[in-house]
Every structure is written in structure tokens, then in C-alpha cells.
């Protein structure tokens, strides 16, 4: 049987990882500035993570949600503490799209409305409700169109307020920092006003922190430079450092009812062991502070390189906007310099999403290689 061909793949196959490095089938070593798409938060094969997972897989990898699971409580307690959202409640699932799907569903349970506001260049996943709120018609199939979605531009906030005032909007979904769209940060004043307006008109505010969460921006959540307390916050990617786990953090004003959400695999013992190990390491190794410092250093250096259109981001969620398509540069970095970087839906943006414990030496190495390759690629893209 062949694989269903839906991914554009690089021709390098990593088969081993350690920290911020991966090795391919030939034994060649690559610097990972892509983090498997923002998933590798604490580095590949972190010893604490490996130990926790090995222990759990040999003890009890899974039992159903029909029984108590102390690991889920421990994960919720640690997540509440580290994210400073102790009073929230946690629903566990398996991926980012599933987290958003459940958040949208929950919002609709609360106010019985159907219309959603989402933002241009946003990405919330590929399942039915999540993809409907994603501003990319190429990935929406006819069956996905189950409800009305308005796409807005946060630079035109009046249109958002006007829409909310009609009092028929179920929820507003927005990324703390837009990732796939090319690293765009919603203005803090906009987020604060959005939270106020949502409260006033009984629309729920969903912060999609699937990519920008878990410390990557230097804050636990990308929105945290603001004081807002969203109704729902969705997480995945960095939460499991490669083990599939996602979650919805739910404001205590929202009441739970048996059966309203559910998942067979969500919050399995193995997933919780991964999630707990990640939180332990983020806390023990001060990875949020490290991400903030490393990001600042990287961005400062990158901004001094002539010919780049713009460098933007927070912490280790960085977008480099080029005056040309980023593909050649990504390929040169990978095939010539052995560095993984990421693309974006904006073809001119190259994304950097390395593990949060990337070292100073690796940052220097990246900058050295980038400065070597960038002028070459710029020249033949003129
Ligand atoms: C902001 C955001 N939300 C949701 C998703 C979907 O996550 P998943 O691929 O785990 O379903 C992604 C994936 O890239 C994302 O970046």
C-alpha cells in the first residue's frame, strides 16, 4: 500500500534526535530550527521526558476515561500553576484541531448561537469546524460548511465591534500569535477591547494557543502580555513534545455537563506522562525565560542583516519576511548547511520554531550559516 500523497516533504528523513539536533538515515547531523512544526518544545529525547514515558508505557499506557486518572489531575494542576490559569478547568484531547473543534462546540453549547468570527491569515486546523474558521478556501471541503464564519482584519476593528453588537456571534477565535499565516501579532489594545466587547455581547472569546502557547513566545501563552482572561484557550503542539496531546482550558463560568465533550484517547496515561514531563522541564529549566532571551538575541541579529524585509515575532516564534519566495533559502539551509527551518502560508516568510532550550552556540551557528547563505540566495532571486 502507498501513502496518500498530501504532504510536500523534504528529502531528509530524521531518524534520531537529541536536544536541538536530529540525525538522518546516513548519520548526518541537522540543527533543528523548525522543531517538527513548533512541536518540540523541550528538545528531542529529553532525559526526563524519556524516563517518564518509558516508565508509563511499561506500567499502564492507557485506560478509558470511564475511570479516575490521577495523571490527568496532576497535569491539570501543573498546567494551571505554570500558565497562571489555576481557576480554569481542563478538557484533554489529542490535537490542535480537536481542541479548537471542542472549544467551538462548547461555546455554542453556552450561548446557543452559530456564527463565528475569525481573522484573516489565521489557521485553526483541518477538521470540520476548525477548518471552517481557517482563512484558506483551498483546505475547506463542501462538507465543512456547517455554520457562518466572518473573517475580519484586526486592523479594521470597527467592523468587528459592529458585528458583535448584533448579538448573534457565538464565538471569536484568534491565535495569540498567528503562526502559519507568517507570524503576525494581534495588537494588545485590540485583544483587550475584543475581550471587553465579547463579554458585553455574550460572545465567547477563544484564544488558539496551539502554536504560540507552552512558553514559546517567552510567556506561557502568546496573549499574556495583555491581562485578558479568555473564555476558552486551546493548546496542543508543544504540550506533548511530540506525543499527541491537546487540551481546552475552560473559564470557571462555563458549566460542565456529563457527555457534552468526550474522547477515547484524550488524556491517556501515556499522553499525561508526556504532558507532565514537558511542564516539569519548562519549569525546572526556566524555558520561558530562555525562549524570551534567545528570541531577542536572534531577532536583534537578524534585523541587522541587509536585504531582509522584516523580522517579527515573540520569543522563539520568529518570522523572517523576505523580498522573495523563501523556498530556495530553506532548501539551501537544509541541503547545504544542514539546518531545518519552516515555511508559512505567506510564501515569502521563513519561520523559526526551534526547541526552547536551544543553546547559545547553536544560535551562533545558525546566524553564521544564515549570513552565509542569505546573500547568495538573494543574488539569484533579484
Ligand atoms: C494555531 C494553530 N491551531 C491549530 C492547529 C491544528 O493543530 P493540529 O495539526 O494538531 O490539528 C495548528 C497547526 O499547525 C495551529 O498552528
Query: 126 C-alpha to center of ligand 1: Å?
Result: 8
Joined grid coordinates for residue 96:
490542535
CA distance 348 to 329: 10
The two beta strands, 246-250 and 317-321, are: unpaired
Higher pLDDT among residues 270 and 138, named by residue: 270
Q: Is the CB of 236 under 6 A from ligand 1?
A: yes
Task: Supply the pLDDT for residue 366.
Answer: 98
Mean of the pLDDT values across residues 342-351? 97
Task: Reduce the DSSP state of residue 215 to 3 states and report it.
Answer: coil
Kindly list the structural domains of the chain, giving each domain's residue range(s) and its CATH number in brackets, ordered by start. 14-45+286-380 (3.90.1150.10), 47-284 (3.40.640.10)
For the cut 90, the answer to whether the pLDDT of residue 39 exceeds it is yes
- Give the position, in ligand 1's atom list, of the atom nearest the Cα of 212: 1
For ligand 1, atom 3: residue with the closest CA: 124
CA distance 294 to 305: 17
Task: Supply the pLDDT for residue 173.
Answer: 98
Joined grid coordinates for residue 2:
502507498
Query: 373 C-alpha to center of ligand 1: Å?
Result: 30
Q: Is the CB of 124 under 6 A from ligand 1?
A: yes
Mean of the pLDDT values across residues 49-68? 98
Task: Supply the pLDDT for residue 258.
Answer: 93
Q: Is the CB of 104 under 6 A from ligand 1?
A: no
Task: Supply the pLDDT for residue 382.
Answer: 79
With cut-offs at 50, 70 and 90, classify the pLDDT of residue 381: confident
- Give the position, in ligand 1's atom list, of the atom nearest the Cα of 236: 10
- Give the position, in ligand 1's atom list, of the atom nearest the Cα of 100: 4
Task: Supply the pLDDT for residue 142.
Answer: 84
Joined grid coordinates for residue 200:
458585553
- Give the position, in ligand 1's atom list, of the atom nearest the Cα of 127: 11
- Give the position, in ligand 1's atom list, of the atom nearest the Cα of 37: 14
Task: Supply the pLDDT for residue 81.
Answer: 98
Joined grid coordinates for residue 67:
475511570
Nearest to 320 by CA among 297, 296, 342: 342
CA distance 202 to 154: 20
Nearest to 194 by CA among 208, 184, 183, 206: 206
Bridge partners of residue 18, in order along the sequence: 21
Joined grid coordinates for residue 184:
503576525
Q: Is the CB of 211 under 6 A from ligand 1?
A: yes
Query: 211 C-alpha to center of ligand 1: Å?
Result: 7
For ligand 1, atom 16: residue with the closest CA: 211
Bridge partners of residue 171, in order along the sequence: 116, 204
E-strand stretches of 105-245: 115-119, 149-152, 169-175, 204-208, 232-235
% of the chain beyond a pLDDT of 90: 96
Rg (CA), the chain: 21
Do 143 and 149 touch, CB atoms closer than 8 A?
no
Contacts of 186 (CB under 8 A, 6+ apart): 119, 154, 174, 175, 176, 177, 178
Task: Reduce the DSSP state of residue 16 to 3 states and report it.
Answer: strand
CA 73 to chain CA centroid, Å, is 23
Give the residue, out of 135, 180, 210, with the most ligand 1 atoms within 8 A of its beta carbon, to mutate for a pocket test.
210
For the cut 90, the answer to whether the pLDDT of residue 78 exceeds it is yes
Nearest to 272 by CA among 40, 77, 82: 77
Task: Supply the pLDDT for residue 131.
Answer: 92
Q: Is the CB of 217 under 6 A from ligand 1?
A: no
For the cut 90, the answer to whether the pLDDT of residue 304 exceeds it is yes
- Residues 126-173: tens digit of each pLDDT: 999 999 999 998 888 888 888 999 999 999 999 999 999 999 999 999
Dihedral-angle region of residue 197 (phi above 0 means left; psi in -120 to 50 means alpha; beta otherwise): alpha
Model-level pTM greater than 0.85?
yes
Nearest to 133 by CA among 162, 96, 159, 164: 96
Mean of the pLDDT values across residues 2-25? 97
| Phi/psi at 247 (5° precision) | -160, 160
Mean of the pLDDT values across residues 307-329? 97
With cut-offs at 50, 70 and 90, classify the pLDDT of residue 123: very high
Q: Is the CB of 121 under 6 A from ligand 1?
A: no
Task: Supply the pLDDT for residue 137.
Answer: 87
With cut-offs at 50, 70 and 90, classify the pLDDT of residue 320: very high
Q: Is the CB of 94 under 6 A from ligand 1?
A: no
Q: Is the CB of 95 under 6 A from ligand 1?
A: yes
Nearest to 168 by CA among 221, 217, 114: 114
Q: Is the CB of 97 under 6 A from ligand 1?
A: yes
Amino acid at each position: 500500500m502507498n501513502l496518500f500523497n498530501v504532504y510536500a516533504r523534504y528529502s531528509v528523513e530524521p531518524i534520531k534526535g537529541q536536544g536541538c539536533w536530529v540525525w538522518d538515515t546516513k548519520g548526518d547531523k541537522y540543527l533543528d530550527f523548525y522543531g517538527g512544526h513548533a512541536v518540540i518544545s523541550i528538545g528531542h529525547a529529553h532525559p526526563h521526558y524519556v524516563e517518564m514515558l518509558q516508565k508509563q508505557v511499561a506500567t499502564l499506557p492507557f485506560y478509558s476515561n470511564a475511570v479516575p486518572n490521577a495523571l490527568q489531575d496532576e497535569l491539570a494542576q501543573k498546567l494551571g500553576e505554570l500558565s497562571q490559569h489555576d481557576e480554569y478547568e481542563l478538557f484533554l484531547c489529542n490535537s490542535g484541531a480537536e481542541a479548537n473543534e471542542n472549544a467551538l462546540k462548547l461555546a455554542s453549547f453556552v450561548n446557543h448561537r452559530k456564527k463565528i468570527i475569525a481573522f484573516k491569515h489565521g489557521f485553526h486546523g483541518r477538521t470540520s469546524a476548525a477548518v471552517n474558521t481557517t482563512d484558506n478556501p483551498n483546505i475547506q471541503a463542501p462538507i465543512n460548511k456547517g455554520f457562518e464564519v466572518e473573517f475580519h482584519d484586526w486592523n479594521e476593528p470597527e467592523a468587528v465591534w459592529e458585528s458583535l453588537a448584533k448579538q448573534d456571534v457565538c464565538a471569536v477565535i484568534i491565535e495569540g500569535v498567528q503562526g502559519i499565516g507568517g507570524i503576525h501579532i494581534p495588537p494588545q489594545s485590540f485583544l483587550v477591547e475584543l475581550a471587553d466587547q465579547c463579554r458585553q455581547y455574550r460572545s465567547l472569546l477563544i484564544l488558539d494557543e496551539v502554536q504560540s502557547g507552552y512558553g514559546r513566545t517567552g510567556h506561557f501563552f502568546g496573549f499574556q502580555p495583555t491581562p485578558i482572561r479568555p473564555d476558552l484557550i486551546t493548546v496542543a503542539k508543544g504540550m506533548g513534545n511530540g506525543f499527541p496531546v491537546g487540551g481546552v482550558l475552560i473559564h470557571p463560568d462555563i458549566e460542565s455537563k456529563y457527555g457534552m465533550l468526550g474522547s477515547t484517547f484524550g488524556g491517556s496515561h501515556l499522553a499525561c506522562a508526556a504532558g507532565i514531563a514537558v511542564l516539569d522541564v519548562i519549569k525546572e529549566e526556566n524555558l520561558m525565560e530562555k525562549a524570551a532571551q534567545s528570541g531577542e538575541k536572534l531577532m536583534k541579529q537578524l534585523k541587522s542583516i541587509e536585504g531582509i524585509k522584516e523580522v517579527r515575532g515573540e520569543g522563539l516564534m520568529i518570522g523572517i519576511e523576505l523580498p522573495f519566495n523563501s523556498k530556495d533559502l530553506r532548501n539551501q539551509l537544509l541541503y547545504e548547511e544542514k539546518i531545518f527551518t519552516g515555511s508559512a502560508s505567506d510564501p515569502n516568510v521563513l519561520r523559526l520554531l526551534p526547541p526552547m532550550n536551544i543553546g547559545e552556540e547553536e544560535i551562533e551557528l545558525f546566524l553564521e550559516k544564515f549570513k552565509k547563505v542569505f546573500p547568495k540566495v538573494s543574488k539569484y532571486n533579484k
